[in-house]
Amino acid sequence: MGINFKLNKRGIIFTTLVVLILFLFVISLTFYSVIKERKAIRDRIETMNAFIPSLEKDMGRQLYISSYRSLLSIESYIGETGNFVTSAENSIGEALLNGTINNLTMGLMEGYKLSEWQSRVSELGNKVNTYINYSVINVTVAHSDPWHILIKMRINITIEDKGNVSKWQKIEIIKTNLKIEGFEDPLYLIETNGLISNKVLRTPYSSFVIGSDLTNLSLHVNNSYYISSPAGPSFLDRLEGKTSASTNGVESLVNLAKLSSQGIATSDKSIVDFIYFSSSNPTACNVIPAGMPSWFKLDENHLATYEVDCSS
């Protein structure tokens, strides 16, 4: 009987050890599964987090292309209708969202409306096994400086893992800075009935008169280059036909010889563009040093800007 008790005791101990080992094995296996699952989730989240900046960068590029085409569309509208737009900001937004200007379909926006990005965005999402959806809340347009237009697109975007591992949702602002250089100045286009086209090109000259040498000034006016000018209208203002002062204003000098060559009657007034193409007519004079054409006249407020004096 004593021997049987000892055997039973050993059996109980052995069974207990086996159960304990099996329990520890199950626990370790469970922990391993949990750790493996957590690692998979962490890897997916890290993949999505790494993907989001590249998505934002791609959407920024797309916004730049669409915005560029929207400005070209507005210039096309102005050229075809002979009318300025009422609001440059609203017109850019309309072109981006609907592909129209004043409800007229713009061919340049075909395939480039913000709503048409979904297929492109979805394609990018498929590469990392995610669903991506977004909706445009609004578009804002303003000058960031005289030479650039800042366009912001506020969107509601959702990125969801196809395996339901993670989901990312937020209000995002995508923005781009668009150069005005190279675009047509609508003031020239409208005021010359489309006969004179003048692209916005920043002057390469930091000084216009060196001693009595007027070479830089002559080249500046011959090419109707632009300088920044808080007395002049901004590029967005020019799309609306405005000639009033803006902190982001620019100005050029009108080459009257080009107007005359196209049979356009010229006016005897300051050739600063926002003055020349308006009803404003401040006293203007020929300048010294001598050597500029007889039609080269500036108002008193611009003599110092172009480093000359009034000849009379």
- Are 22 and 78 in a shared domain? yes
**Is the model's pTM score more than 0.85?**
no
Strands, DSSP E only, in 164-224? 167-179
pLDDT in tens, 107-121: 999 999 988 887 777
At residue 119, the pLDDT reads 75
CA 251, CA 226: separation in Å to the nearest integer? 5
In the chain, alpha helices (H): 2-81, 88-98, 118-126, 186-191, 215-222, 235-239, 256-261, 273-276
Q: Say yes or no: 93 and 13 in one domain.
A: yes
Residue 157 banded pLDDT, cuts 50, 70, 90: confident
pLDDT at position 125 is 75
Asked if 236 and 148 touch (Cβ cutoff 8 Å), the reply is no
In total, how many domains does the chain have?
Answer: 2
302 DSSP 8-state letter: G
Q: Which residue has the tokens 């004096």?
A: 309
Q: What is the rounded distance in angstroms from the CA atom of residue 286 to the CA atom of residue 208?
A: 16
State which of 23-37, 48-62, 134-148 shows the largest mean pLDDT: 134-148
C-alpha triplet 292, 295, 301: angle, nearest 5°:
80
Question: Mean pLDDT of all residues in the chain?
Answer: 87
45 and 143 both lie in a single domain: yes
| Pair (201, 236) in one structural domain | yes
Domain coverage including residue 295: 186-310
Q: Are residues 284 and 145 in the same domain?
A: no
Per-residue model confidence (pLDDT) at position 5: 52
> Left if phi > 0, otherwise alpha if psi is -120 to 50, otherwise beta: which for 244?
beta
Q: Select from 127, 152, 179 the last residue of a domain.
A: 179
Query: Based on the domain organization, do 75 and 222 belong to the same domain?
Result: no
DSSP secondary structure of 65-97: HHHHHHHHHHHHHHHHHS---S-HHHHHHHHHH
Confidence (pLDDT) at 285:
96
| In the predicted structure, residue 210 carries a pLDDT above the cut 90 | yes
**CA gap 210, 186 in Å, rounded:** 32
> 115 and 136 in one domain?
yes
Q: What angle do CA 295, 300, 301 make, to 5 degrees?
A: 115
